[in-house]
Each structure stands twice: as structure tokens, then as C-alpha cells.
Amino acid sequence: QSLLAQPPSASGTPGQRVTISCSGSSSNIGSNYVYWYQQLPGTAPKLLIYRNDQRPSGVPDRFSGSKSGTSASLTISGLRSEDEADYYCEAWDDSLKGVFGGGTKVTVL
Amino acid sequence: QVQLVESGGGVVQPGRSLRLSCVASGFTFSNYVIHWVRQAPGKGLEWVAVIYPDGSGKYSADSVKGRFTISRDDSKNTLFLHMNSLRAEDTAMYYCAREYGDYGKDYWGQGTLVTVSS
């Protein structure tokens, strides 16, 4: 029932750049902020990006976010082995509900 | 430091009820919007419900509307999720998460597992 569309997987070698897309609609991404979360195996999600492109304190600057219209993206520049995780985009929908993407599993080759 | 600790999960038969709790510490609980988010085994995150300060606003996902109720007791720094008419598809890890305005869900609990099975 995910309302935001993400690719199920992405991969890259150490040092490469990986970009994950997140597509929504005018009622969610188009009119509200996008957030990104990282979930390592067996752990709770962790906030990675807020307000489309802002990093919380402690998040490495190799993580960056952007938004354009009804789509958003997360880029990992300089991929590292510890970045292997699931990544989720999220936005508030104007129908008064939260919506997540289906998640993207990033593999470091 | 900010902490959110969920409890109340377990194995329950279809059609029965369960109440989850999330105890907060390290911040002024009454000032914050709090969410429930769940994750079925091997699946992605699913937003469940949200409650605003003073319980002034409550919203829930279509998949749980009419069955689940979110509430809070600010005197006990505790969030609840009352789950009725449970179904197999409600089987999931349930997380509570603090929303810090436009800064997003900045703190999450470790989760409590609900298994609906006969």
C-alpha cells in the first residue's frame, strides 16, 4: 500500500555515487517536505534527511537530498560499506496521513 | 537523553485486542507530536497513526481506521495504541517515533513485536 514509489534495490562499489529516487503526487511530495530514513538490519529507522535536503547533526555529508515537483532523491556520494542498509522516503499527505516509500535496499559490492 | 520505550506486544489470536504503550523520557512529552509506525516481517515501513499535543488531533491509516485508537497520557509521559479486531496482516514490529516539527521523526523506540496468529 506504499504511496511513494522507490526502486527496491540499488548498489555500488565503495567510493561510487548511488542515487535513490522517490516519486509521489501533488498531495504529498508536491506540497510537503520529504524525509529520508536509514534502517540498518535489526534496528529502528534513523532520520537521515529532513526538510527535503537538510542533514541532522551527526549525519555524514556524503548523504544529500533533493526535491523537485512530486519527486525526491537521496544521493550517497562516496559509498562506504557501513551504508549498506534499507532507505525509506516519507512525506505527509494532505489527506491527513503519513506515507512512506516501499524502501530501497542498498548493497555495497 | 531522549528515550522512547515500547511495550505490550506479544502473540494474540485474530479478532482479539491488545494495547501497546510507549514511555517517553528526556524531553517534555506533552509538547510533541508522536507517531506509531509498523513494519511487517521482511517488509517496509507503514505509517499507522499520529497524535498531536493535548490529543488535539488524531489521524490514522485507512488500514487500521475503526480498529486502532491512538491516545496519550501526558501525566505519565505515555503513548498508547489500542488495537481491536486484530488480523493476521497486523503482525508487525510497532515503533513509536517523536516528531520534532518540520525536523521529522528524530527519535524512535526499539519497537515491540505483535504477532496475530491462532
> Please, what is the average pLDDT of chain B?
97
**pLDDT bucket at B20, cuts 50 / 70 / 90:** very high
DSSP letter for each residue of chain B: --EEEEE--EEE-TT--EEEEEEEESS-GGGSEEEEEEE-TTS-EEEEEEE-GGG--EEE-TTTTTTEEEEEEGGGTEEEEEE-S--GGG-EEEEEEEE-GGG-EEEE---EEEEE--
What pLDDT is stored for residue B68 in this prediction?
Answer: 98
Is any Cβ of chain B less than 8 angstroms from the Cβ of A55?
no
What pLDDT is stored for residue A2 in this prediction?
Answer: 55
Residue B36 has pLDDT above 70, yes or no: yes
Residue B90 has pLDDT above 80, yes or no: yes
Task: Report the gap between the CA of B20 and the closest CA in chain A (Å).
Answer: 17
Distance in angstroms (rounded) separating the CA atoms of residues B31 and B33: 7
Q: Which residue of B has its CA nearest to A86?
A: B44
Q: What is the pLDDT of residues A24-57, one digit of tens each?
A: 999 999 999 999 999 999 999 999 999 999 999 9
Q: Which of B86, B78, B83, B66 is nearest to B32 (CA)?
A: B78
Q: What is the pLDDT of residues B58-87, one digit of tens each?
A: 999 999 999 999 999 999 999 999 999 999
Q: Which residue of A has its CA nearest to B98?
A: A47
Q: E-assigned strands of A1-109?
A: 9-12, 18-23, 34-39, 46-49, 63-68, 71-76, 85-93, 97-100, 104-108
